[in-house]
Amino acid sequence: MDTILSIIKSIILGIVEGITEFLPVSSTGHLVIFSNLLGFNGTTPSYVEMYTYVIQLGAILAVVVLYRKKIIDTLVHFFPKKAGYQRSGFRFWLMLAVACIPGGIFGVLLNDWSDQHLFTPYVVAFSLFFGGIWMLYAERKFRNNTPGGGGDELNVTLKQAMIIGVFQCLAIVPGMSRSASTIIGGWVAGLTTVAAAEFSFFLAIPVMIGMSTLKMIKIGGFSSMTSVELVSLAVGFLVAFLVALIVIRIFISYLQNRPMKVFVYYRMIFAIIVLVAGAFGFIG
């Protein structure tokens, strides 16, 4: 019975991760809430944390699968003979690396401090609420500020990559959302909404894989986990992957001609839920 219950909880959390990882609503905030409400825990203190990073990798795998043709194309044409440097695979991956630098520096310096001091219901709720307001303001001010069409995710300039990278640093505050931060950065940099969102997807590949791998190494790997916990990890990974496949397609289709305010309103409602849950002791 415990095994079945653990798998059911894992399925629910995998669905939550798959839905929220690439939407600008904070997957971390949702996982904290649902993990506490479900009483999701393991025989080791590090299991829930390990589970979070594993299912995030499942969601990232969805990006690799959905955009495999573009990824392969950048590798095949890494140093194109005929195409200009502006469209080379080397340049694309170089811009991703540039965009990773600010977040990498901040992550090394502040990630442990953030884990210890910022993961409270009040900080998460504050970030959700006011991050949503900021997203609404940024959309109204910068969304249509895309001279020349705003480029695309495969042709980001050095300046645009740096701007997006700096904005990504905001995601170190739980509740802000890495997706929301990078999309806002993309708007400010002059990208279209779709280009900003898709660049954030590509940027998530090295960022999330690198961060999750380092965190899992720090936690200590899988050796101390029970067979039930390992099965739960595998189920959560698979569910997050499958759900993210669907959500990414729907999200990109939605962004073609619709505003982001629906996510702003959702963030505000969720912020209130976080505050109430914290006040009544459902989360700590």
CA-CA distance, 143 to 145, in Å (whole number)? Answer: 6
- Beta-carbon contacts of 184 under 8 Å, excluding residues fewer than 6 positions away, are 134, 135, 138, 142, 167
Q: pLDDT at residue 86 above 60?
A: no
How would residue 1 be classed by pLDDT, with cut points 50, 70 and 90?
Answer: very low
Tell me what pLDDT residue 145 has: 65
Lowest-confidence region among 5-9, 51-55, 78-82: 78-82
How would residue 85 be classed by pLDDT, with cut points 50, 70 and 90?
Answer: very low
Distances in Å between the alpha carbon of 136 and those of 40, 57, 91, 258, 265? 34, 29, 32, 13, 10
For the segment 8-22, the average pLDDT, to the nearest whole number, is: 95
Tell me what pLDDT residue 20 has: 95
Q: pLDDT at residue 198 above 70?
A: yes
DSSP characters for 228-240?
A: HHHHHHHHHHHHH
| Residue 205 identity (one-letter amino acid) | I
Where do the H-state alpha helices sit in the chain?
2-20, 27-38, 47-66, 68-76, 89-117, 121-142, 158-168, 178-189, 193-219, 227-255, 261-279
Tell me what pLDDT residue 82 has: 62
For the segment 244-264, the average pLDDT, to the nearest whole number, is: 91
How would residue 246 be classed by pLDDT, with cut points 50, 70 and 90?
Answer: very high
Which tokens sit at 49? Answer: 């944390």
Tell me what pLDDT residue 124 has: 86
Tell me what pLDDT residue 148 has: 44
Distances in Å between the alpha carbon of 99 and those of 165, 238, 279? 4, 29, 38
For the segment 247-273, the average pLDDT, to the nearest whole number, is: 91
How would residue 277 be classed by pLDDT, with cut points 50, 70 and 90?
Answer: confident
Question: Considering the chain, what is the average pLDDT of its residues?
Answer: 85
Packed helices 121-142 and 178-189: angle between N→C axes, nearest 10 degrees:
20
When mean pLDDT is compared over 30-44, 71-85, 169-183, the highest value belongs to 169-183
Is 243:15 a contact under the CB 8 Å cutoff? yes
**Exposed (0-12), middle (13-18) or buried (19+): which is 244, by Cβ within 10 Å?**
buried
Distances in Å between the alpha carbon of 114 and those of 107, 124, 178? 9, 11, 14
pTM above 0.75, yes or no: yes
Tell me what pLDDT residue 257 has: 80
pLDDT tens track for 97-139: 999 999 888 877 887 788 788 888 888 899 999 999 999 999 8
Half-sphere exposure at residue 64, Cβ-oriented, CA atoms within 13 angstroms: 11
In three-state secondary structure terms, 23 is coil
Tell me what pLDDT residue 217 has: 78
Domain positions in the chain are 2-279
Tell me what pLDDT residue 44 has: 65
How would residue 152 be classed by pLDDT, with cut points 50, 70 and 90?
Answer: low
